[in-house]
Structure 1
């Protein structure tokens, strides 16, 4: 599976759990860490955990493994490492503090129409 396809699966899982302000950064020309970062936030700890669980479930349904899941218990900043895609799920209060979008400002944002592919009905 291509990393862009994985990114779309993750974005859909975030959207399904009403993750807020979903942003994807194309990291290929900026960092060796991953091809993409996906960043979103939840309004409370329960929602942050729900988003992380949905990502894990959708990725595993696709036949892939989650490499690492950190911060789940505290649910302030959950990191889901999928190798080519790294998801950062913040509690609303933490997102502004860490401001990864600014920290990785050299990375291009993935256009929303690429991130969220609507199925033909």
Structure 2
């Protein structure tokens, strides 16, 4: 759901990681990008609305005002929405490279 909501706002390079075997923080990380602060806020709003409609309430949303890196914490799902500069610098996918990448076909059909 979260990844599909990102894609609905033309997010860049959405990746879903199954981190359930490597951390207690969450079961899934969704990592995606936007080209501007406005696009990132639109992605964040779409994700929040989609998951709320499906019974998941955000525990916290951080960074939305700045729009460079926004983190949405839904408990079992954590969504990172970053501008490309931040994504290149922080390299979240590399940091969690021991997690399983969820095949796009699996999350597209949610």
TM-score band, normalised by shorter chain: over 0.9
Superposition misfits of 4+ residues, deviation over 2 angstroms: none
- Structure 2: 5+ residue stretches without partners: none
Give the structure-2-normalised TM-score. 0.96
- Please, what is the CA RMSD of the aligned residues? 1.0
Query: Number of residues paired by the alignment?
Result: 110
What residue number does 1:29 align with?
21
Give the structure-1-normalised TM-score. 0.88
**Structure 1 residue 40 displacement after superposition:** 0.2
In our comparison, the structure showing a higher alpha carbon Rg is 1
Provide the C-alpha distance between the structure 1 equivalents of 2:40 and 2:13, rounded to a whole number of angstroms: 13
Report SS of the residue matched to 2:43: helix
- Structure 1: 5+ residue stretches without partners: 1-8
What residue number does 2:90 align with?
98
Q: Does 1:81 align with 2:73?
A: yes
